[in-house]
Amino acid sequence: MSVLLVEAFYGGSHKQLVDLLQERVDDCVTYTLPAKKWHWRARTAALYFMQAIPASPAYRVLFASSVLNLAELVALRPDLASLKKILYFHENQLIYPVRKSQERDFQYGYNQILSCLVADVVVFNSEFNKRSFLSSISTFMKTMPDHRPKGLDQLIEPKCRVLHFPIRFTDVTSSTASTQEHQHEPPAKKQSTAEPQLSPQQEDNIEDMEHQPAASLSPDQDPEKPRPLHIVWPHRWEHDKDPQLFFQTLLKLREQELNFEVSVLGETFTDVPDIFAEAKEQLVSHIRHWGFMPSKEDYLRVLCQADVVVSTAKHEFFGVAMLEAVHCGCYPLCPKALVYPEIFPGSYLYSTPEQLCKRLRSFCKHPHLVRQHVVQVNTSAFSWDALGKEYTSLLTADSSAAS
């Protein structure tokens, strides 16, 4: 048990990463807290782990997510100070969106800065996450009334590196096959997204769909009345994912009497924004699936049935759900902001709500063009097969191996 995996918020992508490391990296031992009461985990987890983690001379590496105040844990447990300490950022609290600036609790960002200062290696799941954190430190510290420390970003940056989140992609061939059989869909619908190519004709079709009336389609283009466009939104039901924009867009499509179905997935927590109940009532005739699916198999089956996956996020540092949907064959529509330009080509990005609505309106009119499209995102680059060696190297006791 030379590697200590410590996770103060064992749920979602945090759980996925810890489970994958536990499975694929030799000689690990894991200590976790349930994914509840996030704010309290950030405040108090170090005290819990001080008592929960037994002393052992076998420890060589400590890997923790940035929810944990690593500085507190090391101070409470001096025997852990000599380990190679790796801090992993799924998100950062310096730019995490809050509805009002006065709602931002200084302590959470401050904890992350302290943790970076005591860590040996600081790992971010995206370049956007790293850049936004480092560039915000100076401004963030200016909220202190006086005696502000300077140059903290310069102390932290040499420790930093980017290592994308490794997604455990499931073979969806069987889900795709059953979906095609059920829907009588041509087998070209869900092709591999590895090293994808898009023909010039497909590019022109996607670009010009808005200007082509549905009636002008020849029988060979659209031999039968198409199934409704199936739109999926697989995100947490929280305000930072901007469900307001998503549902407002769908209501505009409904007002224009366009044909579509929607599946609203994702996990719910204590405070669900009111817009979800309102939208469920207003879009009832368009709903195909509504609510979190505990079964991964069922979840992936819905993604394989969908045509378009939409993000309206105001906060995203990586975006596992979007890449899983693309792996299942969905056409992605993402904001031209946050981490998305780092992962998705420009043709899948929108800059304004109007652009999002326009793209979806086009897709509703001509869903067959979306279904024939092969997405130009190589999802295999974000798999364990592609990233596993770097993670294994990171979790060796030799600090130089991860530098």
In a shared domain, residues 344 and 322: yes
Element (H, E) at 22: helix 12-24
Q: Are residues 106 and 37 in the same domain?
A: yes
Q: How many domains does the chain have?
A: 2
CATH of the domain at 16: 3.40.50.2000
pLDDT digits (tens, 9 = 90+) for 77-112: 999 999 999 999 999 999 876 655 555 689 999 999
Sign of the alpha-carbon dihedral angle for 279, 281, 284, 287: positive
- Domain of residue 89 covers 3-167+383-402
Quote the pLDDT of residue 1. Answer: 66
The arithmetic mean of pLDDT across residues 215-244, rounded, is: 76
Give yes or no: residues 183 and 161 share one domain. Answer: no
Least confident range of 3-7, 111-115, 188-192, 263-267: 188-192
Residue 104: predicted pLDDT: 66
What is the pLDDT, as a whole number, of residue 270? 75
**Strand residue runs (E) in 42-132:** 61-65, 84-89, 121-124
Provide the mean pLDDT of the chain.
88
Instruction: Give the pLDDT confidence score for residue 358 in this predicted structure.
Output: 98
Both tokens of residue 396?
């060796």
Report angle CA 339, 342, 348 to the nearest 5 degrees: 90
Q: Are 238 and 146 members of one domain?
A: no
If asked whether residues 159 and 207 sit together in one domain, one would say: no
pTM: 0.85
Cα→Cα distances 157→35, 75, 107, 311, 401, Å: 29, 22, 21, 30, 18
Q: Contact at 8 Å (CB) between 398 and 366?
A: no
| Closest residue by Cα to residue 265 from 327, 322, 334 | 322
pLDDT tens digits for 255-278? 999 999 999 999 887 789 999 999
Residue 387: which of 177, 167, 235 has the closest Cα?
167
Please indicate, yes or no, whether residues 137 and 197 belong to a single structural domain of this protein: no
Are 161 and 261 found together in one domain? no
Regarding whether 361 and 328 lie in a shared domain, the answer is: yes
Q: Based on the domain organization, do 195 and 259 belong to the same domain? A: yes
Same domain for 204 and 150?
A: no
CB under 8 Å to 40, separation ≥6 — which residues? none
Does 145 lie in the same domain as 222? no
Per DSSP, what are the bridge partners of residue 86? 63, 121
pLDDT digits (tens, 9 = 90+) for 346-389: 999 999 999 999 999 999 999 998 999 999 999 999 999 999 99
Mean pLDDT of 174-185: 48
In sequence order, what are the residues at sequence separation of 6 or more whose Cβ sits closer than 8 angstroms to the Cβ of residue 132?
A: 92, 94, 95
Same domain as 146, residue 17: yes
